[in-house]
Amino acid sequence: MSASDKTKNRPWSGRFGEPATELTQRFTASVSFDQRLAEFDIEGSIAHARMLAATAIISERDLAAIEKGFAQIRSEIRAGTFPWSEAHEDVHFNLERRLTELVGEPGKRLHTARSRNDQVATDVRLYLRAAIDQALATLKSVQKALLELADAHAETVMPGYTHLQVAQPVSYGHHLLAYFEMLARDAQRLADCRKRLNRLPLGAAALAGTSFPIDRQMVAKELGFDGVCENSMDAVSDRDFAIEFCACAALVVTHLSRFCEEIVLWMNPRFGFVSLADRFCTGSSIMPQKKNPDVAELIRGKTGRVNGHLVALLTLMKAQPLAYNRDNQEDKEPLFDTVDTLTQCLAVFAEMLPGIQVNRKAMEEAARQGHATATDLAEYLVRKGVPFREAHEAVAQAVRYAESRGCDLSQLTLAELQRYSPVIAKDVSEVLTLEGSLKSRTHLGGTAPVRVKAAIVKARKSL
């Protein structure tokens, strides 16, 4: 087929006196990536056709032919036999062309009262709605896996860090519940994003609406939208929902990346806190002893990819005048790749969590270093009537002394501790233990094992 013949097959070709070049056709074509919208396009087209028939814009016979044609097209797509063609530019023209081949005149009537502008906006919303539903389901699986691991380690002591320096003893279960909270917020954000995108653009046509007596509410109800986009110009030009989804996805993978960073660090023998099941690791082509946490590293690395897509979409939209512009064709690939990356990262992360083996002894030994119970000693002095600032200073001096001795604060004798405050008594030994430190923090949100267990019960109910 010549370039001229290809252009003649375009629905808009009547306006032009010369064909697009082969290079232009390849440059403007999007069917290679937007064909994943095909079934959503069919769903939207059938709803549109039913509305056209209900409002007597097309006949019931036309509707029956359209529905029959789309049934065959859907079967061809699922079987992998649909004749996709770059010459037909995008998913919409490919489907319309095939429908017309199958049913004739009724296929040509389908596009009445709509434009590709409101058509693609509808398709992308339908697609993204389904993607969010899948992401939320997988996110819940991750949260459940976190809770299982946290439940098994509610009493496992580890050092809590600030600035990656030993701070205070915490329960590893408590540490894991911090990630549960992050993911709970992620789930809320995705659900909120879904609410805002769940509005129907169809009926806005190119930008000004249509003179036909359409029933937008009927289409919205048929497609499961909560309502319609109220302004026709905004309906076709809005991509806030795509940007918002990418922002939500960027936060999700950022949270996964932080966890993965800890896996990478903690698998290092200098920590030795955890090991990862072999099925999530790889070796080295030259060093036979290596066991590398590649899955965790890849999740960490893919975070940059998702963040980049968010910036790409923001940049895409920042200078567009109303209403629709062809620039918006460039929203698909970043959005689709964000969906794919998020879906893959969540799925492999959910599988990886049960493959984490915890070295309780290494965690506890690490918690005994770095004067982890210094704050407990300061709080002990406060309960004895010492002002906090004085208590802080006294403990800081005791820590300096312990460091000069090459021992931990908890290893000083009672007589040595009393040099820094005469109110210190024998009962201080309970305060300086890791177990005592943990058990003392029984307030809401604290790291005491009893509180961690209660938090796990509450979290399971929330799911």
Q: Is 17 helix (H, G, I), strand (E, B) or coil?
A: coil
The DSSP 8-state label assigned to residue 409 in this structure reads G
Q: Which tokens sit at 409? A: 């604060």
Q: Contact 103/69 with Cβ under 8 angstroms? A: yes
**Cβ-based neighbour number of residue 327 at 10 Å:** 12
Token match 């290679």: residue?
32
Estimate to the nearest angstrom the gap between the alpha carbon of 249 and the chain centroid. 3
Of the candidates 245, 271, 423, which has an alpha carbon nearest to the alpha carbon of residue 336?
245
Residues 6+ apart with CB under 8 A from 7: 13, 16, 19, 20, 25
Q: Is 445 helix (H, G, I), strand (E, B) or coil?
A: coil
Write b or e for each residue in 253-289: b if 16 or more Cβ atoms lie within 10 A of its Cβ, otherwise e: bebbbebbebbbebbeeebebbbbeeebbeeeeeeee
Q: Partners of 160 in the beta sheet?
A: 168
Write b or e for each residue in 308-326: b if 16 or more Cβ atoms lie within 10 A of its Cβ, otherwise e: ebbebbeebbeeeeebbbe
Q: Contact 34/91 with Cβ under 8 angstroms? A: yes
d(CA 93, CA 267): 53
Residues taking part in catalysis:
163, 284
Q: Contact 276/354 with Cβ under 8 angstroms? A: no
Q: Is 369 helix (H, G, I), strand (E, B) or coil?
A: coil
